[in-house]
Amino acid sequence: MRLFGRKSEPVDPAEAITEFWTWWRDTRPEIDALVEAGDTARVDETIGGAVAALHPSLVWEIVAGLTAPRALVVSAAGDPELRSFAHRWALAAPADPEWEFHPSRQADPLAAEFTTQVAGRPFGIDRLVLGLRVPPGTPRVDVSAFHPIFPDVDDETRMDVTLLALDRLLGEDEVARWVGDIVAAEFEPIDAIPAIHLPAVVADVADGFRNEQWALLEGQTAGGRPLTAAALYPLRPVDHPLFDQHIGVTLPYVNADENGQPTGASLDALRDFEERLSARLKADGCAALVAHLSAEGTRVLHVYADPASDAASRIQELVSGWDEGHTWIDADSDPSWSAVAHFLT
């Protein structure tokens, strides 16, 4: 069934999710009957309106389930502002042996057999080939895709069907994690390989980033003073779909070198604080320390948290013991992780 979105005015997310599942419980017998009858138009009308009531920019489709007979996918379609909403929708789903509920397209174990019609031409993943490039040391695979129908269709159609194929091969979230630049080419790339080998290539790249890593960076403040930073690497919101609250923690430090960077007892205190903070957040599972910046006698820590948790108050408890100057905490909604945009990979 086709994947699409509708336009309407959004409502309170929690209320909309509750209303959706109430509606689903009441309408489920009708939906089952329509699906069994193959009445695509009425299924589109019935489910489409309910998804639109969740949010006008969400998209949906019904596919075969991974373990259940069928699955309803309601996806943010790559919109970081809606990713946590889609995941909260799925978490609120009822247990159901006949249906699965997913907040993103899942990898299709039978992707090699997938076929559809594109601009009146048959498109099968079995004839899709990819030129792949993995920049050294990076957590991304750049993709150049080609299919025999591509010279005969427009740019937008080529890209749409390429994204559809990548989602089938890897799953939507894995594409967000590991695929970098995507080109839908009119001509076959040199050294292209069958698209069905993409999951193995991505798994090989991912294997090099299984352990937590931090990238160390240097720069300058707006006033030209030295700045140092550290950030999780890779750093991607898709890895923490419910963490859409940004908590900024500002800690002044007393001992600094001529460049304003922490030294001596202050450096030790900062490291100890971050270790205790990370341990507390990991134990609770509701937030993560993702980056910090130091300049001009101040360190700013960037934490992302589930806003439904008490992460902010727990951080406040730890910060209350800091004795090197006045501290402050700012907490704001930031589902796209804009506060650390320059660190995202």
The per-residue pLDDT for range 198-256, each reduced to its tens digit, is 999 999 999 989 888 999 999 999 889 999 999 999 999 999 999 999 999 999 999 99
Together in a domain, 248 and 184: no
Together in a domain, 218 and 202: no
Domain that holds residue 224: 214-343
Q: What is the 3-state secondary structure (H, E, C) of 194-260?
A: EHHHHHHHHHHHHHCCCCCCEEEEEEECCCCCEEEEEEECCCCHHHCCCCCEEEEEEEECCCECCCC
Together in a domain, 116 and 85: no
Does 2 map to a domain? Answer: no
Together in a domain, 119 and 240: no
Provide the whole-model pTM: 0.89
Structure tokens at 49: 């309106």
- Residue 215 is which amino acid? A
Does 119 map to a domain? Answer: yes
Sequence-ordered list of residues with C-beta below 8 angstroms from that of 41, at least 6 positions apart, any chain: none
Together in a domain, 189 and 139: yes
Together in a domain, 159 and 260: no
Quote the CA–CA distance of 255 and 177 in Å, as a whole number.
39
Together in a domain, 166 and 227: no
| 221 close to 199: Cβ distance less than 8 angstroms | no
Does 152 map to a domain? Answer: yes
The per-residue pLDDT for range 255-289, each reduced to its tens digit, is 999 999 999 999 999 999 999 999 999 999 999 99
| 318 close to 276: Cβ distance less than 8 angstroms | yes
| pLDDT for the residue 112 | 94
How many structural domains is the chain composed of? 3
What is the distance, to the nearest Å, from the Cα of residue 91 to the centroid of all Cα atoms in its chain?
A: 16
Does 120 map to a domain? Answer: yes
Quote the CA–CA distance of 34 and 49 in Å, as a whole number.
15
| pLDDT for the residue 83 | 94
| pLDDT for the residue 3 | 36
Quote the CA–CA distance of 183 and 158 in Å, as a whole number.
9
Quote the CA–CA distance of 200 and 183 in Å, as a whole number.
20
Sequence-ordered list of residues with C-beta below 8 angstroms from that of 114, at least 6 positions apart, any chain: 108, 124, 125, 165, 168
- Domain ends where: 157, 191, 207? 207
| pLDDT for the residue 11 | 61
- Domain ends where: 161, 190, 207? 207
Q: Which residues of 84-122 are buried (b: 16+ CB within 10 A; e: fewer)?
A: bbbbbbbeebeeeeebbbbbbbbbbeebeebeeebeeee
Together in a domain, 339 and 218: yes
Together in a domain, 131 and 250: no
Does 5 map to a domain? Answer: no
Together in a domain, 164 and 197: yes
Does 146 map to a domain? Answer: yes
Together in a domain, 286 and 183: no
The per-residue pLDDT for range 149-187, each reduced to its tens digit, is 999 999 999 999 999 999 999 999 999 999 999 999 999
Does 8 map to a domain? Answer: no
CA-angle at 273, arms to 271 and 276, nearest 5°:
110
Together in a domain, 280 and 172: no
